[in-house]
Structure 1
Amino acid sequence: MIFTIILKVPVFFAKHIQEDSFITWRVARNLLDYGVIGFNGEERISASTTHLYVLISTIFQLAFDDFFIYPLLIFSCILFFIGSWWLAKILFRKNKLNRALFVVFLNMVPPAITASCLGMEYGILFFLYNALLYFGLYKRKNWAFILFPILLLWTRIDAVIFLGVIFIADFIIRKKINFAFILGGFLGMVTVVAFNWMYFGELVNHTITAKKIAYKNLAQNNSIEFLLYQWAYYGGLIKKYSLFTLLFFLGFLVFLGFVLRKIIQDQCRISPKTKIILLAVIAFALLKITVFAFMKAYFDWYYWLPRVFLFAGVIYFLLSYLPLPKRILAPSVFILIIGLYVFQLLQSFTIGYMEDSQRMQIAREIGRSDAPLEQSIFLEPAGIIPFFTGLYTYDEVGLVNEKITDEMLKDEKFWWMNSVRDFQPDYILTVKYQPGDGKSYYAMKPEDQSYFEGRYRLVRKYPIAEIHRNAPEILRRIYEIRPIGKDYYLYKKVLSND
């Protein structure tokens, strides 16, 4: 466990933390400060996708105050390690060396690093996934089938996909319906939905509703070709919409098919129960990647754990079926994995440098508000800057403020300008485009232009090209290969009253 955490420490120095983590952490801070699960003071809203992680983040902020982030990240890494250890105990019942190698290798692959180190709830989710596999399917403890489905659904509601696949696997193993499993899933779903309805007045988290409304016109290409590119983009590690990415992913799936065929045909090295569990998690991975990609779910973190399970199947095959002596096999696989590890480390440093030079810099320049929520900001995304400034927040997707969602429903075209008029935020941060640009959704009527220019002044531009130019040489070369980030424009209100 200590070794796997040491391997992940360099990621902490990269300053790469997923933006949406700060949304959950601000909700947790809001719960401490106002006693309300929300984002802006006493306004109740399910701005975070995960209720359980909000509670855990609240506990860590209560214990460590402003220094909670790295203890929480280490806690996530520990949970991910325990989850991978349970999975290894299922796959390698007797071979303790292979079990240890499997755990170390799995914790080094890119999706494992992102899932456990970037601040999202996926370290917890992986822990719970494998707790259900180990104590439920493998050890056949009935209490596990009641407890872990509840915790999984309180962590993420889309865990229902995992529960469905594992329920089928459990039926195949037991050859009878598992009523304890049904009870656990029922209690989990009913309690989450009931809580959402009674506390927030919504059946599902507001984040789901907001994204459905905000992103309905986001996809500019609905062709089957683009959807296949998206499927390969999110299913694999190559972050480029291209035919090469699709062919590479299809090649990986062919190799995965060969791996599964070898495992299915094996009657000696793997027990029938273990075989079913391994096939089930790979089936879950492929199902979730396919469903979410074709539903146009554009967020990379949805796919982290499915990729981890795909890697788990491949690593199991490499350790169990390659006809090489252990003294050659272990170093060979390690060289392969260390290449992937360095790949992710470089990617984390490129993203972390960009975040620190841009959004963190914007937060530093705005400064921490002495009287939180008295001043406001209208921006996208609603993570780093609201968390560090404490400003009342309107976000362009409506994730953290239902008033924006209402504006989108009232006027699909001019909702942004209408929001500026209605709410008159003290700060406005636009992405990629400046207000009034015809190519953006910062659309304005002719009379809106003079209104905006009379009340807001441009404080500073944050061009992404400048950040790329000023980066250390190794990062600058990576930006040349894969430019990431967008321009930002910060505006400040010059008149306090309309």
Structure 2
Amino acid sequence: MKKNKLLISILLIIIIKALFLLTKHIQEDAFITWRVAQNILDYGVYGFNGDERISSSTTHLYVFISVLFKLIFSENFIYPLLIFNSIIYTWGTKILSDILTSNDNVKILFIFFANFLPPAIKISILGMEFGLIFFLYVLFLKYAVLLRRNWAFLLLPILISWTRLDAAMFLLINFFYDLFRYRKPNYFFILSGILSVITILGFNYFYFHEIINNTIIAKRLAYANEADNFMSKFIGMLNNTNYYSMLKIPLNILKINIFLIITIFLSIFSFYKISKNLNREQKYILSIIYTYAWVRMVVFGFANSWFDWYYWIPQIFMFIPIILYFIQDLNKTKIITYIVIFFIPLVAYQTVHSIATGHGEWYYNRKVGLYLDSIEPDKSKTVFLEPAGYIPYFSKLKAIDYVGLVDKRVLEEFKIKGNNVAESVIKKYQPDYILEDNKPMFKGDISIEESSKYKLIKEFHILQNAKSDNFILDKIYKLKPSGRDYYLYKRIN
């Protein structure tokens, strides 16, 4: 009965969370991964544009899983894959609950609350690889760190590294914890680290002729800010809501975000309080994930890595002590307090965010891609745009993106020209279409000689999309009109 109760609860949590799929909130970058997967099926090449090899996705393992889902479900693969992501994340929270508590009622509450944090909802429904990486992290904590299985020390770090290269930080922290605790190196862990480096960097080198993923190099070149000094980076890290808080709201007090203060204080307090009631192994596991959360957020925050998804798993790990503090003794007052103060506001926030963002991206960016697909039957034509997610995926055209994530030629221009590469890319590679968010093109910074070769053929305005006959939806869309105006230019032959 206990097992059935827990299993039924998990199934219900997955079903309730699946309601967020109705928001159509899918991350732009997921479509880059899926375009790479489609390219493998169409051309037999790990790339983005035809037979050109390029590591335009940050996650190799998830690309191959996407290929498998595309083979099984064809064009209808997206929702089966999103459900898979949701299931493995939920199962990961179940495994973590098994480690941190033995009480089934506490487990159910833990799994429930851990699945309805904003980053947990994003991990489950946005189509990116973080449900997979969370699941692999927790498997490693259980079978390698806790149960000391040699196969887990050997296999799981390789899978983790192939999912995301930056997950090496998690493995490194675990290695030092293991070395400090047992006073001797784990040779299976060391061998796995060596194999991880050899296999993934070897694959990059021999297949793509590069060592580090193209996406990492492109972002470093495109988003570099030489003016940043130590203090500006530190203040930026403290001010950015994404790093330490559940909410992404621009609300600052004395230049420090109030949600950041609350989250950090409550997290440290909860970690201290619940550690007194955990056994030795539970304290050890909680210390590992808590250390990882802090190190990851400080290192990436200070490096000015501002993409939301870098912080989803650390945010969850940092919030776990807070959840445990409110539920570990099954005190009804504390549980109700958590529901009122955290659960309801956070779920409400994410619901509004997902409805608005999903509408803006699925019913706006996707519509732009479908329009291009409808007017251009020749899929060898190119479009110069940013970002390279929804629109290239649904237009099926070849893409040149402003950052160089999917076209290495843009990276070469960054190395030569610095940040202003638009004109040189247009002049050299003559894209058939340019999708810009300015009129005139690139704010008039493109020479008349080059800009005169293009004519404006279509305008897309986000405020026209942010409307609904439903009063509530209309308010939500206008509260957060996700997207921007686009102007589509076509090259004059």
TM-score (norm 2): 0.91
Which of 66, 72, 86 is residue 63 of structure 1 equivalent to? 72
1:485 is aligned, of 478, 483, 486, to: 483
Q: Distance in 2 between matches of 1:111 and 1:346?
A: 14
Match of 2:261 among 242, 250, 270: 250
- CA distance in 2: counterparts of 1:220 and 1:384, whole angstroms: 32
Residues 482 and 370 (structure 1 numbering): CA distance in 2 closer, same or farther, change over 3 Å? Answer: closer
Quote the Cα distance in structure 2 between the aligned partners of 1:202 and 1:76.
Answer: 30
For the residue of structure 1 that corresponds to 2:456, the secondary structure is: strand
- Select which of 30, 33, 38 maps to 2:42: 33
- AA aligned opposite 1:474: I
Who is 1:189 aligned against? 197
State the partner residue of 2:466.
468
Q: Match for residue 273 of structure 2?
A: 262
Whether the aligned pair in 2 keeps the contact of 1:90 and 1:274 (CA below 8 Å) is yes
Contact 2:353 2:480 in 1 (8 A): no
Deviations 1:136-180 (A, max 9, x none): 111111211111100000000000111112223333443432222
**Partner-residue secondary structure (3-state), 1:489:** strand
Q: Distance in 1 between matches of 2:339 and 2:435?
A: 45
Match runs of 1:393-408 below 5 Å? 393-408=399-414
Q: What is aligned with 1:451?
A: 450
CA 1:414–1:284: 2 relative to 1, 3 Å: closer
Distance 2:307 2:157 in 1: 24
8 A Cα contact 2:373 2:397, kept in partner: no
Q: Secondary structure at the match of 1:185?
A: helix
The answer to whether the 8 A contact 2:426-2:450 is kept is no
2:119 aligned residue: 111
Deviations 1:91-110 (A, max 9, x none): 01x21111122111111111
Separation (CA, whole Å) in 2 of partners of 1:472 and 1:218: 47
Q: Which residue of 2 aligns with 1:149?
A: 157
Which amino acid in the other structure matches residue 75 of structure 2? D
What secondary structure sits across from 1:132 in the alignment?
helix
User: Aligned to 1:223, what secondary structure does the other structure show?
Assistant: helix
Give the C-alpha shift of residue 331 in structure 1.
Answer: 4.8
Q: Is structure 2 residue 36 aligned with structure 1 residue 48?
A: no
Output aligned runs, 1:60-459, within 5 Å: 60-92=69-101, 94-217=102-225, 223-224=232-233, 226-244=235-253, 246-264=257-275, 266=276, 269-321=277-329, 324-325=331-332, 328-335=333-340, 336-367=342-373, 373-412=379-418, 414-431=420-437, 434-437=440-443, 443-444=445-446, 448-453=447-452, 455-459=453-457
**Deviation of the 1:460 alpha carbon:** 2.1
Output the CA distance in 2 between the equivalents of 1:226 and 1:364. 42
1:42 deviates by: 0.6
CA deviation string 1:199-248 (max 9, x = no partner): 00111100011111111149889725641444444321332445236233
Inter-partner Cα distance in structure 1 for 2:249 and 2:346: 17
Contact preservation (8 Å) 1:369, 1:391: no
User: Gaps (5+ residues) in structure 1?
Assistant: none
Give me the whole-angstrom Cα distance separating, in 2, the residues matched to 1:414 and 1:170.
47
Q: CA deviation at 1:117?
A: 0.9
> Contact (CA 8 Å) 1:380, 1:396: kept in 2 or not?
yes
Instruction: Give the conservation status (yes or no) of the 8 Å contact 2:293–2:318.
Output: yes
- Distance in 2 of aligned mates of 1:219 and 1:39: 33
Alignment check: 8 A CA contact 2:140 2:156 kept = yes
Per-residue Cα deviation, 1:16-56 (whole angstroms, up to 9, x for no partner): 10000000001001001111100011100000000000100
Percent identity (aligned): 39
Contact 1:49/1:205 (CA < 8 Å) preserved in 2?
Answer: yes
Change (3 A) 1:381 1:160: same
Q: Counterpart amino acid of 2:160?
A: L
Q: Supply the distance in 2 between the matched residues of 1:471 and 1:286 (Cα, whole angstroms).
A: 45
Displacement of 1:389 after TM fit?
Answer: 1.4
**C-alpha distance in structure 2 between counterparts of 1:95 and 1:413, whole Å:** 56
Specify the SS of the correspondent of 2:487: strand
Q: Distance in 2 between matches of 1:192 and 1:428?
A: 35
| 1:249-299 C-alpha deviation (Å, 9 max, x unpaired) | 1232122221122234x1xx3111110110210111121111111111121
SS of 2:184's equivalent? coil
Residue type matched to 1:377 in 2?
V
Contact 1:7 1:108 in 2 (8 A): no
C-alpha distance in 1 between matches for 2:239 and 2:48 = 32
Provide the secondary structure at the position in 2 that maps to 1:45. Answer: coil
CA contact 1:230–1:293 (8 Å) conserved in 2: no
For residues 431-462 of structure 1, give each alpha carbon's deviation from its aligned partner in whole angstroms, at most 9, with x where no partner exists: 35642416xxxx32xxx224322x21112222
Residue 13 of structure 1: aligned partner? 22
TM-score (norm 1): 0.90
Structure 2: stretches of 5+ with no match in the other structure:
1-9
Give 1:371 shift.
Answer: 5.8
Give distance in 2, aligned partners of 1:58 and 1:321: 45
The alignment partner of 2:46 has SS state of coil
> In 2, Cα distance between the equivalents of 1:257 and 1:189?
34
Q: Does 1:24 align with 2:33?
A: yes
Moved more, 336-345 or 478-487: 478-487
Alpha-carbon contact 1:32-1:58 (below 8 Å) kept: yes
Offset at residue 482 of structure 1 (A):
4.9
Local SS of the residue matching 2:257: helix
Deviations 1:296-341 (CA, angstroms, capped at 9, x unpaired): 112101111111112222111211157x25xx55455444424322
Indicate the SS of the match to 2:441: coil
CA distance in 2 between counterparts of 1:225 and 1:130 reads 31
The 1:15/1:214 distance shift into structure 2, 3 A limit, reads: same
The CA RMSD over aligned residues, in Å, is: 2.3
Q: Which amino acid aligns with 1:288?
A: R
Q: Which stretch of the first structure deviates more once superposed, 467-476 or 28-37?
A: 467-476
- Of residues 124-133 and 308-317 in structure 1, the stretch that sits farther from structure 2 once superposed is 308-317
Instruction: Point out the more displaced range, 341-350 or 44-53.
Output: 341-350
Does the 8 Å CA contact 1:372/1:390 hold for their aligned counterparts? no
